[in-house]
Chains A and B, each alone.
Chain A
Amino acid sequence: MATNWTERISAFCCSPSGFLSETSPDTFLSELLRELRDDRASYGIKVLLLSPLCEYPTLLCSSESAGEETALDLMSVFTQCPSRFSQFRCRLLVALTSVLVCSSCVNSQSRASLDFLDLLLRIAQDASDPPGDGTQRLLRATACDCLREMEASCPGLLSQRLELLAGLRQLETSRLHQAFGVLQILVLRNAVYQLTKQPGAGAAHLKALLGGNGSVAWEADQEAVHMDTKDAAMLLSLILGPMGRVPTLHTGPDCKELRSVLSSLLEESYLFTPLCQAALFHRLTEVVAMVPGIPPTVFRAQLLRLLGTNEVCLLHVTLLMKCGFTDSLFSAEDEAFLLKRLVVLSQHPLLSSPEKLFYMDCILHFPENRPISCGDCDEAPPVLLTPRLASVLLPSVFNDSATLLSRLNLQALVFLEEGDEESLGLAYIYDHLAALLHIVDRGGSRDIVVTFFRAAFLFLFYFHHVERYATCLSEQLCHLFLQHTRLAPHILNLVNQTQERLPECKWFVGLLQGLQRVITRVPFGQLRLQDLSSHLKVLARVAEEEEICQRSSLSFLSTIVTQTSSSLCTSGDWRLGNGLLGVCRCVLLHPNLDSILVPLADILQHLAFHYGDTDIRDHARLYYTLLTMLSREKLSAVLVQSAAEGGSQVKKRTLSCVMAESEGLTNTLTIHQTEKPIFHLTEALPGPHQEAENLQLNQEDEYKTLECYRAQLSKSGFASLIVLKYHLTHTEPHDPGFEQLFSIQLHFSHTDDHYEELQDISVPCLFRQGQRPVVQLKLKPRRPYPTTIHVSAIFTSKDGLTWHTAMPDIHVAFQQVFLPLPAPPTWSSASIRDVFEGLWDEMSHETGESCISLFCCQLGEAALKALVEKHFHSFLVSDPLEESAEFRALLFLPPKSHILLKISSTEDAAHFNMATDDCRLLPHMNSYLLKVTSSLENSVS
Chain B
Amino acid sequence: MSLRALWIIFYEKGENATVRFSRRFSTVEHRAKIMAGSSYVAVPEDRIFLQLLLTELGLSSPNKPYVADRDDCLYRPRSPAVELRLSGKATLWPVLAISQGPLLLACLPLVDIPSEPRPPLANLLSVSQGLTFLAGLQTFVLGSGGKLDREGLDSRVAMLPPLLLQVCPLGTPLDTIPLAGTPTAPMAPTSSVTQKQPAWKTGLYRGRASVNVAVVETVRSMQYGNQSRQDTWDVYGTVTCKCEVEGVLPNVTVTLTLPPNGSPLQDILVHPCVTSLDSNILTASSVDDADGSAFSGPYKFPFSPPLEPFRLCSYTSQVPVPPILGSYQLKEEENNLRVSVSLKLHESVKNSFEYCEAHLPFFNRNQMGVADVKVSSGQLDVSKEKNLLVWTLGQKFPRSREVTLDGKIAFSGSSHGPSDPLCTGLTAYIKLYLKVPDTTLSGCCVDQHLVQVYSSAKPRIFTSRELQSKEYYIWNSTGSAPMSTGQMVI
Tell whether, in the assembled complex, residue A428 and residue B274 are in contact, meaning their CB atoms are under 8 Å apart: no
Query: Given A388-B490, A447-B58, do A235 and B35 touch, yes or no (CB 8 Å)?
Result: yes
**Of the residues B74, B125, B283, B287, contact of A313 by C-beta under 8 Å:** B125
| B270 is an interface residue with CB less than 8 A from chain A | yes
Q: Which residues of A contact B236 (CB under 8 A)?
A: 349-350
CB-based contact A232/B35 at 8 Å: yes
Which of A317-325, A605-613, A696-704, A781-789 lines the interface with chain B? A317-325
B421 adjacent to A444 (CB under 8 Å) = yes
Cβ A152 vs Cβ B31 within 8 A: yes
A273 to B282: give the CA distance in the assembly, Å. Answer: 22
Q: Which of A129, A425, A493 contacts B68 (CB 8 A)?
A: A493
Q: Given that A174-B189, A391-B490 are known contacts, is A270 also in contact with B269, CB under 8 Å in the complex?
A: no
CB-CB under 8 A for A352 and B135, given A97-B170, A271-B198, A273-B175: yes
- Which of B18-26, B386-394, B460-468 lies on the face that meets chain A? B18-26
B444 within 8 A of A: no
The reply on A133 being an interface residue by CB < 8 A is yes
Q: Is the CB of A358 within 8 A of B128?
A: yes
B448 located at the interface, meaning its Cβ lies under 8 Å from any Cβ of chain A in the complex: no
Q: How many residues of A contact B (CB 8 A)?
A: 149
Which of B25, B161, B288, B485 has its CB near the most chain A CB atoms (within 10 A)?
A: B485
Contact present for A443 and B419 (CB under 8 Å): yes
- Distance between Cα atoms of A832 and B84 in the complex (Å): 61
Residue among A152, A240, A394, A440 facing the most chain B CB atoms (10 A cut-off): A152
Chain B, residue nearest A100 (CB): B27
B residues in contact with A352, CB < 8 Å? 98, 135
Q: A397-B482, A432-B486 are in contact. Are A305 and B274 (CB under 8 A)?
A: yes
In angstroms, how far is the closest chain A Cβ from the Cβ of B191?
Answer: 9
Known A-B contacts A145-B170, A428-B490, A490-B71; the reply to A675 vs B88 at CB < 8 A is: yes
Known: A396-B482, A435-B483. A236 touches B288 (CB 8 A): no
| B contact residues, range | 35 or more
Q: Check if B47 sits within 8 Å of A278, measured CB to CB.
A: no
How far does the alpha carbon of A285 sit from the alpha carbon of B161 in the complex, in Å?
33
The distance in angstroms between the C-alpha atoms of A149 and B253, with both chains bound, is 39
- Pick the contact of B174 from A275, A282, A364 — CB < 8 Å? A275
**Shortest Cβ distance from residue B14 to the other chain A in the assembled complex, whole angstroms:** 11
Q: Which of B27, B113, B165, B220 meets A153, CB within 8 Å?
A: B27
Tell which of B73, B117, B173, B200 touches A456, judged by Cβ atoms closer than 8 Å: B73
> Which residues of B lie under 8 Å from residue A497 when comparing CB positions?
72-74
B30 to chain A, nearest CB (A): 5
CB proximity of B485 to chain A, nearest CB, Å = 6
Is A232 a contact partner of B34 (Cβ separation < 8 A)? yes
From B47, B283, B485, give the contact of A396 (CB < 8 A).
B485
A contact residues around B66 at 8 Å (CB): 489-490, 493
Within 8 A of A (CB), among B321-348: none
Interface membership of A205, Cβ < 8 A: no
Which of B27, B37, B188, B195 is close to A97, meaning CB atoms less than 8 Å apart? Answer: B27
Contact of A55 among B26, B76, B87, B200 (CB under 8 A): B26
Give the CA-CA distance A309 to B279 in the complex, in Å.
13
Stretch at the interface among A195-203, A336-344, A542-550, A684-692: A336-344
For B46, the chain A residues whose CB sits under 8 A away are: 14-15
Q: Are A358 and B186 in contact, CB atoms less than 8 angstroms apart?
A: no
Q: Which residue from A17, A87, A134, A448 sits with its C-beta under 8 Å from B186?
A: A134
Any A CB within 8 A of the CB of B166: yes
Q: Do the beta carbons of B172 and A149 come within 8 Å of each other?
A: yes
| CB-defined contacts of A54 to chain B, threshold 8 Å | 26
Which residues of B259-317 are within 8 A (CB) of A? 267-272, 274-277, 279, 281-283, 285-288, 311, 314, 316
For the residues of B in contact with A, the DSSP-based class is loop
Contact mask for chain B residues 239-266; partner A; CB cutoff 8 A; 1 contact, 0 none: 0000000001000000000000000000
Chain B residues lying within 8 Å of A482, measured Cβ to Cβ, are none
Closest chain-B Cβ to A183's Cβ sits at a distance in Å of 11
B119 CB-CB contact with A under 8 Å: yes
Q: Which residues of B contact A442 (CB under 8 A)?
A: 421-422, 424
Instruction: For B27, list chain A residues within 8 Å (CB).
Output: 97-98, 101-102, 149, 152-153
**Interchain CA distance A388-B486 in the complex, whole Å:** 11
B128 close to A174 (CB less than 8 A) = no
B77 to A: closest C-beta gap in Å: 6
Other-chain residue from B88, B166, B199, B267 in contact with A348 (beta carbon distance below 8 A)? B267
* Closest chain A CB from B478 CB (angstroms): 18
When distances are taken between beta carbons in the complex, the residues of chain A under 8 Å from B117 are 376-377
Q: Does B228 belong to the interface (CB within 8 Å)?
A: no
Assess whether B180 is interfacial by the CB under 8 Å rule. no
CA distance A341 to B484 in the complex (A): 22
Enumerate chain A residues within 8 angstroms of B174, measured Cβ to Cβ: 145, 178-179, 182, 273, 275-276
Instruction: Name the CB-closest residue of B to A103.
Output: B30
> Is B79's CB within 8 Å of the partner chain A?
yes
A501 → chain B closest CB, angstroms: 7
Interface residues of A in 349-408 (CB under 8 A from B): 349-350, 352-355, 357-358, 361-362, 364-367, 376-377, 379, 387-389, 391-392, 394-398, 402, 405-406
Q: Cα distance A141–B395 when bound, in Å?
A: 55
Which residue of the partner chain B has the closest CB to A397? B482
- 12 pairs, A vs B, C-beta closer than 8 Å: A98-B26, A173-B195, A240-B114, A305-B272, A305-B276, A349-B236, A365-B122, A376-B119, A454-B76, A494-B73, A673-B87, A675-B89
Other than the given A101-B30, A241-B123, A397-B483, 13 more pairs (CB < 8 A) read A134-B186, A173-B189, A174-B186, A235-B31, A276-B175, A316-B122, A316-B127, A316-B128, A354-B98, A358-B122, A439-B421, A443-B419, A493-B73
A residues with CB within 8 A of B: 13-17, 47, 54-58, 87, 90-91, 94, 97-98, 101-102, 129, 131-134, 137-138, 141-142, 145-146, 148-149, 152-153, 172-175, 177-179, 182, 230, 232, 235-237, 239-241, 268, 270-279, 282, 304-305, 307-317, 319-320, 323, 337, 340-341, 343-345, 348-350, 352-355, 357-358, 361-362, 364-367, 376-377, 379, 387-389, 391-392, 394-398, 402, 405-406, 409, 424-425, 427-429, 431-432, 435, 439-440, 442-448, 450, 453-454, 456-458, 486, 489-490, 493-494, 497, 501, 673, 675-676
Residue numbers of B with Cβ under 8 A of A are: 1-2, 19, 22-27, 29-31, 34-35, 37, 45-47, 58, 62, 65-66, 68, 70-80, 87-89, 96, 98, 112-114, 117-123, 125, 127-129, 131-135, 161-162, 165-166, 169-176, 185-189, 193-201, 218, 220, 234, 236, 238, 248, 267-272, 274-277, 279, 281-283, 285-288, 311, 314, 316, 419, 421-422, 424, 482-487, 489-490
Q: Nearest 4 A-B pairs (CB), nearest first?
A: A394-B486, A354-B80, A134-B185, A402-B79
